[in-house]
Chain A
Amino acid sequence: MSHLPANGIWQQCPKCRRNVHRLEWGNLQICPHCGHYLRLSATRRIQQLSEKFQPLPELTAAPPFAFPGYQKKLAQAQQQTGASEAFTAGTATLSDQAFVLGVMDSHFMMGTLNTIVGARLRQAITAAQQQQLPLVLVIASGGARMQEGILSLLQMNTVLAAYDALNAAGNFTLNILTDPTMGGVTASFAFAADAVIAEAGATIGFAGRRVIEETSREPLPPDFQKAASLFEHGQLDAVVARPDLAATLTQLLRLHQRK
């Protein structure tokens, strides 16, 4: 079962506009014509970056406030993705290396940070600390989820505090920034890792392009907030093509293997 919004056999490439068959998209979801990456579901990402994956106990919560239309939006997102929220974490192995893997899913309300996503992030961070394992987060988020107001904002400092504690404990931390990594997530834990790498083509920034255009009324360069541009400006350790991510992850896990 596909976890992407379009469930047909053919899906148009958002970049080159050609119709591509499901088999041609393949597991990596790369356009065979122009090389464009579709955004991956958490399930696919986990498949690509681990051999074994044991999910952590699933934390849940009811919407904290009766924001109009929110309940319906959540139900839609759950139905479309088959996931209960925008973040899934578990203990994983890749090439015999054990680690905690957490994945945000942009198909679920743009991977926005809310009460549950924050709680699960802290749970994953704590699990890595308790089990003395490296932490690997695959980040995809539009930032704080508006519908949960101030509680979404408070995820930033609390997740970052947990992340800081994990770094202080000596665990290796790796963040893989994928499309999109924005707002409150970028301004808190996205860059808190020992190694920060981006998937090629990802948009990464604090304020969204539209907001910047509106407030500053200045033309934006085409590569603005793109992974390659961030790399040139010294903000990232590496930009990695999707088919190479697992190899890069293996390399880093091996280098950080505890004796």
Chain B
Amino acid sequence: MLEEQLKKIRSAQRISAATVIAALTTDFFVLHGDRLQADDPAVTVGYGHFHQQTVLFVGVNRGANLQQRLDYHFGALSPAGYRKVSRGLTQAEKFGWPVVTLINMPGAAADVAAELNGQSQALATTISQMGHLTVPNVALFLGEGESGGALALANCNRIIMLANSLYSVASPEAVQAILKDKQQALANYLPMTADQLKQLGLVDQIIAEDEQLLPHIEQVLQQQLTELGHLSAKQLQQQRTEKYLAILDRFTDQ
């Protein structure tokens, strides 16, 4: 089950962040670089018109062919990538734009350069900034999202998942590795599918993956942004904190 799902979301045919941005926005302007070190091609940060308002989009690029995948580092963001996101978030807040993140990634980059360039700090800063945003933020999982690398882009007012996407503490392969019996179906024990996470209260909406995928995405994003548009800055911040604590509190003895 999970294997089929993984094959689907990791395939070259999977809908990409670039496709969504191109279909949904007009006059899209791309931010380049973190103003410190580099421009990470694993993430596109930019703003464009979406239904009569300017929206900041943060799209992870996974790549559709081998060359792209290598160029994009398989969608694993470097510290410079997170700092570019951070720069975008600062502008969104300054100009009152809502933020939409598009996620399909294996997690944050794990290499020597990432460690030396402050990956931990870059992640912590992004998590914190997303949590405190005074504008609405919505995460849309197009494929998989794992570890702190995905959390940093998903610390949002709303989480939406395409029906086959996954959100997990680590890659299913990594979690499977700690199971003694390798035949055991992982998803039976840990919630990571869209349905399971919706039941948990973490995911707000699931989008069916049919021929009308892009129109569905457009409609859901528009509806969510409209609803969140009625909340004040303070309410938006509170809603995020309370959403997560409400889930966690259910698992703690009171």
Q: Which residues from chain A sit less than 8 Å from chain B, CB to CB? A: 59-62, 64-69, 115-116, 118-119, 144, 146-158, 160-161, 164, 183-184, 186-192, 205-207, 211-212, 215-216, 218, 220, 224-225, 233, 235
Contact = CB atoms under 8 A, between A and B. Distances in A.
A68 B169 contact: no
Given A116-B252, A161-B128, A235-B118, A206 B244 contact: no
A205 B245 CA distance: 27
A81 B56 CA distance: 49
B178 A207 contact: no
Interface stretch (B20-28, B42-50, B90-98, B106-114): B106-114
Interface in B174-210: 174-175, 178-181, 184, 189-192, 197, 200, 202
Given A149-B168, A187-B123, A207 B115 contact: yes
Contacts of A67: 189-190
B132 A150 contact: no
B224 interface: no
B120 A146 contact: no
Nearest to B130: A157
A151 B155 contact: no
Contacts of A147: 178
A224 B110 CA distance: 13
A184 B245 contact: no
B70 to A, nearest CB: 13
A225 B114 CA distance: 12
Contact of B248 (A62, A154, A220): A154
A115 B179 contact: no
Interface in B215-250: 240-241, 244-245, 247-248
A218 B112 CA distance: 8
A116 to B, nearest CB: 7
Contacts of A158: 241, 244-245, 248
B180 A146 contact: no
17 contacts: A62-B253, A67-B189, A68-B179, A116-B252, A149-B192, A153-B147, A153-B169, A157-B127, A157-B151, A164-B128, A187-B148, A187-B152, A192-B128, A207-B111, A212-B115, A224-B115, A235-B118
Contacts of B120: 186-187, 190-191, 205-206
B170 interface: yes
B124 A192 contact: yes
Given A160-B124, A205-B115, A68 B189 contact: yes
Nearest to A219: B112
A149 B112 CA distance: 26
B110, B148, B169, B202 pick with most chain A CB within 10 angstroms: B169
Contacts of B244: 154, 157-158
A211 B155 CA distance: 25
Nearest to B174: A146
Given A144-B169, A187-B148, A225-B115, A157 B132 contact: no
B248 A115 contact: yes
A211 B110 contact: yes
A146 B170 contact: yes
B119 interface: yes
Nearest to B187: A149
B112 A212 contact: yes
B1 interface: no
